[in-house]
Amino acid sequence: MVSKYFPTMKIKNRARARLGFWFSLCYNNFMNAPDLRPSPIAGTWYEGMPKSLAARIDGYLDEAKPPELNGQVIGVIAPHAGHKFSGRVAAHAFATLRGLEPDLVAILSPFHSYAPFQLITTSHQAYTTPLGNIEVDKATLEELQKKLGIPITPIANDKEHALEIELPFLQRVFKNEFKLLPIMIREQEEHAAKKLGEALAKILKKKNVILVASTDLSHFYDQQTAKIFDHHMLKCFESFNPHAIFEAEYTGKGFACGHAAVAATLWACQRLGANQVQLLDYATSGDVTKDYSSVVGYGAAAILKTI
């Protein structure tokens, strides 16, 4: 009886071994897979399929005709609405980065939801978009935290669009792999923005880095009124005076939902050698929708170290 059933037992054992092997392989792959921040806006705020997203971004970049720049680009200011609305303006900023190969991109954005923290970053290992994954530079985040007297709180599964919306542009404009330093600012106070900018400059001084400030301008005014507010705020950007940005916001002369992100970026760029902000493009959502009764303003600029 043993000899009769022994071959069958060997077959069953081999099957169990193969099953165990594949289970172990799948489990190990699962355990070794990167911890990705899931995108809450792919397929709505921008194209959800890789080919169509790449084609849309490349089209915006090809259409963009930024003016001739006066120096080396240290950072850019770009809007963060859905690509349909602000993509053409944003492309003017990102087109100035063509040909560069940074190892690191630091993105500063507002945080539109509530969280009981001043500064926020992701707890995930990487951001994902339809164009692939971008690793978060955890080591640089730790360096920044040591230099900064304000906690940067990591959270999971954030819904913030203002930072993510810039990523597909970076993925198309840079041909090399780069890491990400994502910082979201919830409490937009001047002293905190200045501390952040100064700390960023200290840790980024010897790194091959590009800074990105993510902001829209005024919200839901008619086109004529929006242009008054927006041009005042853009002049504050152009003045390279971060304090003027807060003053415009506090006095109601101009508005930018990411005013602290822009100010912090300007403080960092100043200490990294930049000395000029060059405006590149401006438009409103009304220029896309043709509804000028309630619009959102979008501006693009390059932060330069003049030659």
pLDDT at position 72 over 50: yes
Higher pLDDT pick, 20 / 167: 167
Q: Please report the pLDDT score of residue 13 as a whole number.
A: 52
Q: Please report the pLDDT score of residue 10 as a whole number.
A: 46
Q: Please classify residue 171 by burial: count the beta carbons closer than 10 Å to its beta carbon, then call 0-12 exposed, 13-18 middle and 19+ buried.
A: buried
Q: Are 29 and 55 in contact (CB under 8 A)?
A: no
pLDDT at position 20 over 50: no
Q: Are 218 and 294 in contact (CB under 8 A)?
A: no
pLDDT at position 253 over 80: yes
Q: How far apart are CA 59 and CA 284, in angstroms?
A: 19
C-alpha dihedral sign at 174, 177, 181, 184: positive
- List the one residue out of 233, 191, 184, 175 whose CA is nearest residue 213: 184
pLDDT digits (tens, 9 = 90+) for 135-166: 999 999 999 999 998 999 999 999 999 999 99
- List the one residue out of 127, 128, 129 whose CA is nearest residue 50: 129
pLDDT digits (tens, 9 = 90+) for 102-131: 999 999 999 999 899 999 999 999 999 999
Q: Please report the pLDDT score of residue 34 as a whole number.
A: 84
pLDDT at position 227 over 50: yes
Q: Please classify residue 10 by burial: count the beta carbons closer than 10 Å to its beta carbon, then call 0-12 exposed, 13-18 middle and 19+ buried.
A: exposed
Describe the crossing of helices 259-271 and 223-239 by its angle, rounded to 10 degrees.
Answer: 20
pLDDT digits (tens, 9 = 90+) for 77-100: 999 999 999 999 999 999 999 999
**What are the angstrom distances between the C-alpha of 2 and each of 10, 15, 128, 236?**
12, 19, 56, 89
Q: Are 205 and 106 in contact (CB under 8 A)?
A: no
